[in-house]
Structure 1
Amino acid sequence: MNLLYANDRPGEYPASWYADTATPLPPAPALDGDIRAEVCIVGAGYTGLSAALHLARAGRNVVLIDAHRAGWGASGRNGGQVGSGQRVEAPEMEEMFGRDTARTLWQIGEDAKQLVKDLIAELAIECELAPGILYTDHKPAHTAEMRRHARHMNEQYGQPLEFLDHDALRDHLGTDAYASGVLDPTAAHLHPLNYALGLARAVRAAGVRLHENTPALAREGTTIVTRRGRIRADHVILACNGYLGDLDRGIARRVMPINNYILATEPLGEERARALIRHNHAVADAKFVVNYFRLTRDHRLLFGGGESYSYRFPDDIAAKARKPMLEIFPQLRDVKITHAWGGTLGITMNRLPYLTRPAPGVLSASGYSGHGVALATLCGALVAEAITGDSPRFETMARLAHRTFPGPSSWRTPLLAFAMSWYALRDRL
């Protein structure tokens, strides 16, 4: 089953709160005929949009195609969190790679966060950017470790994390579900679809030829085959993440698509909304199957939770996300759900992005493992740098070893579902 068409209508954004509140971008024409370009980019999410923008600014002739619309995939559906560093915490990276490499990878993640903020300011993108992410843990046994982590990041990385015990956390959140947390004031949250559409406007203004509703059917060297034409290029960038399909089986063995779900409540009113999240920070908890949530400008709660590993979204997405929401905020049992949607992201075995050159003239970046708002934006820029000149940061990321998911493709989904069910059980113990 092709994930591009498994759950959504061709060429239409999902019926999300983001789509309902987006600043519309006029559709770009589908490709009709054979064309030539210096660089052809497949996928108009954050990676492809950022790569296209940076290449166009470097004077390259760029074609950007998407099977649906710009920002249609994970880029327009996610929780909107612009996190610090990498998806893997710095102490864990120190154990994996040593302190020097961990510091380099952490700084690359910090560069990613800053690039998002810089692009939003430079391009005047209206996407509700707001500071602060609160990371929480539900287990009292982890409180001492949370305190040590905040101290380590302050002392060794200059990261101004604020440790919060249970009582301090209650000043931030209207729930007793969590035992401790850390506040990262340098992280941020935003409207992810409006951010993607802002990048798309900049890409078109920079002279990039954008073709929507133009799925890539095959790659023949550096030629991309579409339904109604071929794109012959000197370089190809695969920026498809969880929607790669069969375009490159080597990448597909290392980047696993999984589905995740978000709901939006009805407007709660400012007083009730602030009783849930007092200081308008985004929140992500420490469970392996992460719950994440934040408020909107019109005082709704956006809540993400629940993953699945089949191709199809569940019949009742709202129920899947509502269950963990009520475990954290039982006071919302009477609240109506106005929107619920799913999306597909790409994860790797080590939870770090997978940057690679799978063939001569071909580059790829994907597998952001839930940290993609910032990292996908930067990795698009790094892929562009690798084409236009030297990119030490691209090479650093490309040197990371990425294991393949075990077994043939038919095994991966049930094996991952079994593993994630085990971790979900462990979260509850």
Structure 2
Amino acid sequence: MPVWDDGNWPGLPSLEGDLEAEICVVGLGGSGLAAIHELLRLGRSVAGLDAAPVAGGAAGRNGGFLLAGLAKFYHQTVAEQGRDFARRVYQATLEQIARMKEETPEAIRQVGSLRIAASADELQDCEAHLHALRADGFPAEPYSGPEGEGLLIPSDAAFNPLLRCRTLAERALQAGARLFEYSPALRVSGREVQTPRGRVHCQKVLVAVDGKLERLFPELEGQIRTARLQMLATAPVEVRFTRPVYRRWGYDYWQQLPDGRLALGGMRDAGGEEEWTTQDAPSEKVQQHLERLLAQLGIQAPITHRWAASVAYTQTGLPIVEEVRPAVWAIGGYSGTGNVVGALLGREAAAMLAGVRPSGTLFL
């Protein structure tokens, strides 16, 4: 169980029997729920399914970071994708963070984030990152403090991902969406989604799943690859970290919650090839490395939670958005940082499926 779960979610029913909706959304995480809200706003009838509880995958089991931009650092995106695209994506994700804070202020703390260097090479890369952001007018500052040296990005935020998703699900239900948990999609076509005990008859389907997406759609084999990300959390300790921290090229990350508990994750590289897996139970090897990192940070509090999640990576760092079958669209592949860009892409995909193509779309 992730540290975000307070045990108070009442749960939703599984799908029993047949129902009809204009659009069926598979996946009730951050991107799927963003899509559902956009579809409701546009007046479409929506059914939403998930194989687990709401945000039972990576959407509710991640580190709780809201970071602007894509998975690759801003200067890398500029170099690989061009300045115009990088600038537009970064600006759109800044606006998405602001939107998320307005939607669920109780779940979000806009405290900024720290990227901390663990080597001289990484510190030099932090400087290139800083200069690229400043060159395009985005907020960033050099940083030196108890966490180390690197850069501060004041526009980023920390949040409780499970609280946000469950709040969005409750609001979607109140607005007329029909949502079902423990209803895995066994067969998907543009006219029907079949689950173990029911079917959704529809006109279009949006599959908003990140990890294990290639298992649902073999058509995506080779474009994405699922990995396991692991975390742990401690009992409350004296406040040491006022901002979420990314360190060692993003392989280590942590944040301290308002009640003093520390949520810490990463060390995927220490797990090696074994972490390229669709298994999402914590492994002893990576958890031991996380415990060592905890000790290096001087934290001696008892460990209270251990968990893992499946996420999908792409070689380019760009997310997947593809019509994999007629009238069936898939989005995912956020390469470990999907909280913001996933919600943004969910909204874009929903508008497209509803027949609306607003100007300024990024991925469609």
Q: Same fold (TM over 0.5)?
A: yes
Q: Does 1:352 align with 2:318?
A: yes
Amino acid at match of 2:339: V
**Cα gap change, 1:336/1:188 in structure 2, threshold over 3 Å: closer, same or farther?**
same
Q: Does 1:90 align with 2:74?
A: yes
**Cα gap change, 1:65/1:148 in structure 2, threshold over 3 Å: closer, same or farther?**
closer
Cα distance in structure 2, aligned partners of 1:95 and 1:253: 24
Paired residues, number: 355
Cα distance in structure 1, aligned partners of 2:200 and 2:55: 21
Amino acid at match of 1:299: G
Comparing 59-68 with 356-365, greater Cα deviation is found at 356-365
CA contact (8 A) 2:69 2:93 kept: yes
Matches within 5 A, 1:29-428: 29-121=13-105, 126-154=106-134, 156-164=135-143, 168-170=144-146, 173=147, 178=148, 180-244=149-213, 246-268=215-237, 272-274=238-240, 277=241, 280-287=242-249, 290-307=251-268, 308-312=275-279, 313-316=281-284, 318-326=287-295, 328-329=296-297, 331-332=298-299, 334-388=300-354, 389-394=356-361, 396-398=362-364
Give the counterpart of 1:28 among 5, 9, 12: 12
Cα distance in structure 1, aligned partners of 2:195 and 2:234: 40
Cα distance in structure 2, aligned partners of 1:356 and 1:115: 25
**Cα gap change, 1:144/1:245 in structure 2, threshold over 3 Å: closer, same or farther?**
closer
**Cα gap change, 1:29/1:145 in structure 2, threshold over 3 Å: closer, same or farther?**
closer
Amino acid at match of 1:139: S
Cα distance in structure 2, aligned partners of 1:184 and 1:287: 15
Return the TM-score normalized by structure 2. Answer: 0.91
Give the greater-gyration-radius structure (CA): 1
- Please list every run of at least 4 consecutive aligned residues from structure 1 whose deviation after the TM superposition is greater than 4 angstroms: none
1:389-420 per-residue CA deviation (whole Å, 9 max, x = no partner) reads 114454x414xxxxxxxxxxxxxxxxxxxxxx
Cα distance in structure 1, aligned partners of 2:26 and 2:92: 24
CA contact (8 A) 1:257 1:344 kept: yes
CA contact (8 A) 1:273 1:301 kept: no
Query: What is the CA-CA distance between 1:188 and the residue it aligns to?
Result: 0.2
Amino acid at match of 1:131: V
Comparing 294-303 with 94-103, greater Cα deviation is found at 94-103
Amino acid at match of 2:3: W
Cα distance in structure 1, aligned partners of 2:358 and 2:325: 18
Amino acid at match of 2:182: N
**Cα gap change, 1:37/1:252 in structure 2, threshold over 3 Å: closer, same or farther?**
farther
RMSD: 1.9
Higher helix share: 1
Cα distance in structure 1, aligned partners of 2:172 and 2:51: 17
Cα distance in structure 2, aligned partners of 1:241 and 1:199: 18
SS at 2:226 equivalent: strand
Q: Which runs of 5+ in 1 are unaligned?
A: 1-14, 399-429
Query: What is the CA-CA distance between 1:212 and the residue it aligns to?
Result: 0.9
Amino acid at match of 2:334: Y
CA contact (8 A) 1:204 1:210 kept: yes
